[in-house]
Amino acid sequence: MSWLARLFAIAQKEVRQLARDRITIGLIVGIPAIQLLLFGYAINFDVRGISAVVLDQARTSLSRRLVGDLGATQVLGTIRQAGSEAELRGLMQEGEANVGIVIPPDVERRIAEGGRAALQILVDGSQPALENVAQGLAAMPLLRRAGAPAASRPVEILVAWNPERRTAVQIVPALCGVILTMTMVVFTASAIVRERERGNLELLITTPVTRGQLMTGKLLPYVGIGFIQVTLVLLLGWWLFDVPVAGSLLDLYLGALLFIAASLALGLFISTLAQTQFQAIQMALVTMLPSILMSGFMFPFEGMPELAQAIAQLLPLTHFNEIIRGIVLRGTRLADMGPELGKLTLFLAVMLTAAVARFQKRLD
């Protein structure tokens, strides 16, 4: 047999083996199709529907018309009313609003004189791309129609919690979640498969360890690894990029603990579905790209279509981004992030229960 015939024989054998592996065939076809549809629909640089809070100190027909015109742009979605500057800051600090708009009591005089800003837009500097949204609002001729001189700059833009407008301040905290997702899910996705391929599963089956104990025991070592990674990212971010932690370190690590456990539970569930380590890694990758692109890490979450937002709610990184940015940059207390904590806890419970239910202490 010639070398070419031997080469084709090996290739034919590999094709037959792949054809018998239904999970791999599904991944080959499903990954590009799902990712293309998901990201082509979800990723949108034309941001719409940003949550906002308005402090209308003038309470005149002109100020109410300005608020209506801002809502009509569709750049802003839900517009809440604040009674004081402290309430406006509080809503933004808790993540209830990403943009704050302050209309001063003498707005009509400011518009007529054109010497001072007639409108102030406060942007959450912990979120990406929101300053561009504010710049777009400032460029709209809303105040020009109210009589503002053409040469004036009637809108002042302030960036809260990131006055220097540094990208590292937005990216470094969220990188904790991205790195944990990439490592924790991959590490545990191959956990059960690795035991089976090495023959260790036979020994575990003969022990009195229950399924729940086995699954939980596999999570514990990686929790420590996750804490090391969080600490390393925060230390390097502080040292290299001058990103301080505004909130409580205890709150930060408690939130990280919940997210690490949720990511590990997802990896364990994947490991019960895969037959080989290759399949486990491929399945883990399916969850990584949506987490990175749809969680608000790179694009404003509220700028995505509603269906994409609903899908992103199923990703633990979506909620952890809110937690870590709130604690690190805005100084938000963990107790004020009940919805995010509840969703992460629910995700952890569902994934861990599903993993335990799927895992059977037998080789078949």
Alpha carbon distance 251, 87 (integer Å):
23
Shortest CA distance to 221 belongs to which of 184, 271, 174? 184
Q: Give pLDDT, residue 220.
A: 82
Alpha carbon distance 6, 318 (integer Å):
50
CB 311 within 8 A of CB 74: no
Which residues does 108 contact at the CB level (< 8 Å), separation at least 6?
A: 58, 60, 62
Q: What is the pLDDT of residues 57-74, one digit of tens each?
A: 888 888 888 888 887 777
Q: Give pLDDT, residue 268.
A: 86
Tokens found for residue 206 = 């003969």
- Residue 86 in this model has a pLDDT that exceeds 80: yes
Q: Give pLDDT, residue 302.
A: 73
- Residue 309 in this model has a pLDDT that exceeds 60: yes
4-13, 146-155, 170-179, 309-318: range with lowest mean pLDDT: 146-155
Domains of the chain: residue spans and CATH: 50-160 (3.40.1710.10), 167-358 (no CATH)
With H, G, I as helix, E, B as strand and everything else as coil, classify residue 119.
strand
30-39, 113-122, 270-279: range with lowest mean pLDDT: 30-39
- Residue 146 in this model has a pLDDT that exceeds 60: no
Alpha carbon distance 316, 302 (integer Å):
16
Alpha carbon distance 22, 36 (integer Å):
21
Q: Give pLDDT, residue 149.
A: 56
Q: What is the pLDDT of residues 164-179, one digit of tens each?
A: 888 888 888 988 999 9
pLDDT band at 326 (very low <50, low <70, confident <90, very high): very high
- Residue 364 in this model has a pLDDT that exceeds 60: no
16-30, 212-226, 245-259, 317-331: range with lowest mean pLDDT: 16-30
Per-residue CA distances from 52 to 38, 92, 121, 302, 338 (Å): 27, 9, 10, 11, 20
What is the mean pLDDT of the segment spanning 330-337? 91
pLDDT band at 252 (very low <50, low <70, confident <90, very high): very high
Give me the amino acid identity at 220: L
Q: Give pLDDT, residue 159.
A: 86
Shortest CA distance to 317 belongs to which of 338, 335, 298? 298
Specify which residues 250 forms β-bridges with.
none
Q: Give pLDDT, residue 202.
A: 59
* pTM across the whole model: 0.82
